[in-house]
């Protein structure tokens, strides 16, 4: 028997009760006492000090300072899933958000939050309500909150502010992952994953292919030089190869699992079965060949027959092409988390239980190193049949939607670039409406690699639903979910300015996730289309970049409609260039730049060969929206610029490098 726990008013806490619900019940109970003692729900008089009511210390501290006690709503504004099969939390179809806690006390009480409902939000805060005031309604409100918590499975934190904090990364990390990534250590799941990863590695596959070719050569030599003095030695070598091949195929069966290795529904099942059969048969013939060679040296017909059978190993070359494709996909996906359950091996991961990130479903030559569209189709039509929707974010390519029963939405975003603000609002509305339509519905979002554009859009969805309250938290979480740390430490997410990691996507995409956070917190209003006149560009920390004075740079200013303006420091076209060596700053004063409105992209090209070119085939670039410019300036440090944010460019771009845009 565990130690009995008592609440603040001395009553025992029921076993299994949520600890914070007891706090709220105490508050409701004390409010009732206060209400009855003064005979009016409008009474503002109460105990002189909070300690007279034996309140828990966080609440006592808050009230002792005269601060009002606020209760924050943990219901989502736009819930991404059903709770108990009904949309009690809000109606996205008509644009209405979820009801605030205590707003309608006669409304049905939710008994529990469905495990598929993975959003909680703290932005809907009731107006500050003093503890001493309208005590009857407050008691009823707190009572409802305590009932809600009694049915909530996750622990909450009752802070000094009186709110319930569900926004910690630790809470979000407990979202179930159907791909079941292995936990590093001495356990069966991890050992099996490690074995599979090893035998499917490109180096291992190439080594096996070379051994197959050598073994076939030995068989041919053995057949053409029958009764030679090399017969016995060649038979021993061939048997050794047979033992290795048997071990290799056994490890592949262990890594994938016998159930799926011999599963005829898999696209490569026939090759696996043929490969296994050839290995077993040739192992037996090699063993018999060696035995017969020892027992009978009269050139029996059996020996010849056995050696002819070993020629079957030629068939293994055909099977190896599929293994080489698998190895190539591993290299291209790097350490992005892969789905390797139920016989699948796809560059695909569950960011939440109902939101999937993946790379492009490919056909033709691209399917050699990307997800084969037939396998992606088989995955969704077996794991989420009739309950899925794909979002293709590639403006540069598409595919046959009939593989997915026409369940494909096309949101056109250029590679390594950003969506429009309206695209982001439309995307979140579409995703939430689809997820609200059925508790089992899922969405799959992809671009080409399933990282930059995909991460941007999934992060704004998580911000919208309240799974994370800030852009930075959502970006960090997406990267951690998309990264398989068992393979490597390379961060597979969207770049955040405060966390520079190698090989990630552009800071502009991160900036636009921040823009969406602002829109979400401002009732989904677009920012004003503020006209801005770009007058000057100031570059600092140039001594290690190209010529060192900025004279080798040219500037291209574009909008969504296309190129608007171009200037060249070398020729003086469209600008006046000046360099101050003492401060290591170059000033580019633009002379004919038109007024800018909305989304703007600025590219910097450099003619010096020692300046690396990255995305967009330029030295660096960035996106911004004129509606978010404050104080007529935009300052971007090295980590905020697309291309220089990558550490492999930091021998050129030092930590002093930055760009400042001045607007008139």
pLDDT in tens, 109-126: 333 323 333 333 333 333
Please check whether residue 556 is in contact with residue 563, taking contact to mean a CB–CB distance below 8 angstroms: yes
Between 512 and 209, the higher pLDDT residue: 512
pLDDT at 619 over 60: yes
Most confident residue range from 111-120, 123-132, 227-236? 227-236
pLDDT of residue 459: 95
Read off the tokens for 396: 């540069």
pLDDT of residue 335: 64
Percent of the chain surpassing pLDDT 70: 60
Burial label, 550 (beta-carbon count in 10 A; 0-12, 13-18, 19+): buried
pLDDT of residue 424: 97
Read off the tokens for 206: 């190439």
Burial label, 359 (beta-carbon count in 10 A; 0-12, 13-18, 19+): buried
Q: What is the value of pTM for the model shown?
A: 0.62
pLDDT in tens, 277-307: 888 887 887 787 777 655 444 545 555 565 6
Read off the tokens for 442: 């899922």
pLDDT in tens, 316-370: 666 666 666 666 666 665 666 788 888 788 989 999 999 999 999 988 887 777 8
Domain at 334-522: CATH architecture: Alpha-Beta Complex (3.90)
Read off the tokens for 350: 């569950």
pLDDT in tens, 640-663: 999 999 999 999 999 999 999 999
Question: Tokens 């608007």 correspond to what residue?
Answer: 564
DSSP assignment, residue 428? H
DSSP assignment, residue 496? B
Q: Span 378-403, mean pLDDT?
A: 95
Question: Tokens 């644009």 correspond to what residue?
Answer: 95
Read off the tokens for 227: 């009764």
Strand partners, 636: 659
DSSP assignment, residue 83? B
Q: Span 142-149, mean pLDDT?
A: 48
Most confident residue range from 47-56, 176-185, 233-242, 438-447? 438-447
pLDDT in tens, 575-604: 999 999 999 999 999 999 999 999 999 999
pLDDT of residue 237: 83
Torsion angles phi and psi, residue 613, rounded to 5: -105, 130
Give the CA angle between residues 232, 236, 241 to the nearest 5°: 145
In terms of residues, how long is the chain?
A: 664
Average pLDDT, the chain: 73
pLDDT of residue 369: 73
**Cα 544 from Cα 654, distance rounded (Å):** 8
pLDDT in tens, 56-113: 333 344 434 444 444 333 333 333 333 333 333 333 333 333 333 333 333 333 333 2
Torsion angles phi and psi, residue 305, rounded to 5: -60, -40
pLDDT in tens, 397-445: 999 999 999 999 999 999 999 999 999 999 999 999 999 999 999 999 9
Q: Domain 532-663's class?
A: mainly beta
- What are the sequence ranges of the domains in the chain? 188-326, 334-522, 532-663
- Residue 225 pLDDT class (50, 70, 90 cuts): low
Looking at beta carbons, which pairs linking 483-488 to residues 24 or more positions away fall under 8 Å? 483/335, 483/336, 483/337, 484/181, 484/335, 484/336, 484/337, 484/338, 485/184, 485/335, 486/181, 486/182, 486/184, 486/190, 486/193, 486/194, 487/197, 487/334, 487/335, 488/334, 488/335
pLDDT at 181 over 90: no
Task: Work out whether the CA dihedral 39, 44, 50, 55 comes out positive or negative.
Answer: positive
pLDDT of residue 479: 85
**Cα 143 from Cα 136, distance rounded (Å):** 11
| Catalytic residue list contains 447 | yes
pLDDT in tens, 4-61: 444 444 544 444 444 445 554 555 555 544 444 444 434 334 333 333 333 333 334 4
Enter the CATH code of domain 188-326. Answer: 1.20.120.350
**Cα 406 from Cα 402, distance rounded (Å):** 5
Catalytic residue among 447, 575, 593, 606: 447
Between 51 and 262, the higher pLDDT residue: 262
């Amino acid at each position: 028997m565990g130690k009995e726990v008592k609440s603040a008013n001395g009553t025992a806490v029921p076993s299994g009760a949520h600890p914070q619900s007891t706090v709220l019940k105490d508050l409701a109970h004390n409010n009732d006492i206060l209400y009855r003692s003064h005979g009016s729900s409008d009474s503002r008089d109460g105990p002189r000090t909070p300690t007279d009511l034996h309140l828990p210390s966080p609440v006592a501290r808050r009230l002792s300072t005269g601060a009002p006690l606020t209760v924050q709503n943990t219901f989502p504004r736009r819930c991404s899933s059903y709770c108990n099969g009904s949309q009690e939390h809000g109606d996205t179809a008509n644009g209405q958000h979820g009801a605030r806690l205590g707003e309608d006390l006669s409304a049905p009480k939710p008994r529990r939050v469905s495990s598929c409902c993975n959003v909680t939000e703290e932005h809907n805060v009731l107006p500050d309500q003093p503890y001493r005031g309208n005590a009857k309604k407050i008691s009823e409100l707190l009572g409802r909150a305590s009932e809600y918590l009694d049915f909530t499975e996750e622990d909450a934190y009752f802070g000094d502010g009186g709110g319930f904090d569900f926004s910690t990364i630790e809470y979000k990390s407990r979202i179930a992952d159907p791909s079941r990534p292995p936990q590093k250590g001495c356990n069966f799941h991890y050992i099996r994953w490690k074995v599979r990863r090893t035998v499917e590695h490109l180096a291992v596959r190439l080594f096996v292919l070379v051994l197959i070719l050598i073994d076939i050569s030995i068989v041919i030599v053995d057949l053409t030089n029958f009764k030679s003095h090399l017969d016995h030695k060649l038979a021993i070598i061939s048997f050794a190869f047979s033992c290795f091949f048997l071990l290799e195929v056994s490890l592949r069966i262990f890594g994938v699992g016998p159930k799926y290795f011999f599963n005829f529904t898999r696209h490569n099942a026939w090759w696996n079965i043929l490969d296994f059969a050839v290995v077993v048969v040739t192992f037996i013939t090699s063993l018999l060949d060696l035995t017969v060679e020892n027992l009978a040296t009269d050139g029996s017909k059996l020996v010849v027959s056995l050696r002819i059978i070993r020629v079957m190993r030629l068939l293994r070359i055909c099977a190896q092409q599929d293994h080489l494709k698998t190895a190539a996909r591993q290299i291209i996906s790097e350490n992005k988390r892969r789905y390797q359950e139920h016989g699948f091996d796809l560059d695909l991961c569950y960011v939440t239980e109902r939101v999937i990130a993946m790379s492009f479903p490919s056909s033709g030559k691209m399917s050699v190193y990307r997800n084969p569209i037939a396998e992606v189709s088989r995955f969704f039509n077996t794991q989420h049949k009739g309950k899925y929707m794909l979002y293709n974010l590639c403006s540069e390519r598409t595919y046959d939607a009939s593989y997915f029963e026409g369940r494909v939405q096309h949101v056109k975003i250029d590679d390594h670039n950003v969506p429009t603000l309206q695209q982001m609002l439309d995307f979140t509305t579409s995703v939430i409406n689809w997820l609200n339509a059925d508790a089992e519905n899922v969405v799959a979002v992809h671009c080409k690699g399933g990282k930059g554009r995909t991460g941007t859009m999934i992060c704004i969805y998580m911000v919208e639903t309240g799974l994370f309250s800030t852009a930075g938290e959502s970006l960090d979480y997406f990267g951690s979910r998309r990264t398989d740390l068992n393979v490597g430490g390379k961060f597979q997410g969207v770049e955040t300015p405060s966390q520079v990691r190698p090989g990630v996507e552009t800071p502009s995409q991160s900036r636009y996730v921040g823009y969406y956070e602002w829109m979400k917190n401002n009732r989904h209003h677009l920012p004003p289309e503020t006209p801005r006149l770009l007058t000057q560009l100031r570059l600092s920390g140039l001594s290690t970049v190209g010529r060192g004075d900025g004279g080798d740079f040219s500037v291209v200013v574009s909008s969504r409609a296309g190129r608007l303006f171009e200037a060249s420091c070398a020729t003086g076209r469209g600008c006046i260039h000046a360099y101050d060596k003492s401060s290591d700053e170059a000033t580019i004063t633009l002379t004919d730049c038109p007024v800018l409105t909305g989304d703007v992209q600025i590219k910097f090209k450099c003619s010096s060969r020692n300046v690396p070119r990255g995305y967009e085939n330029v030295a660096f670039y960035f996106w911004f929206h004129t509606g978010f410019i404050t104080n007529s300036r935009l300052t971007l440090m090295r980590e905020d610029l697309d291309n220089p944010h990558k550490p492999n460019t930091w021998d050129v771009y030092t930590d002093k490098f930055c760009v400042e845009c001045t607007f008139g």
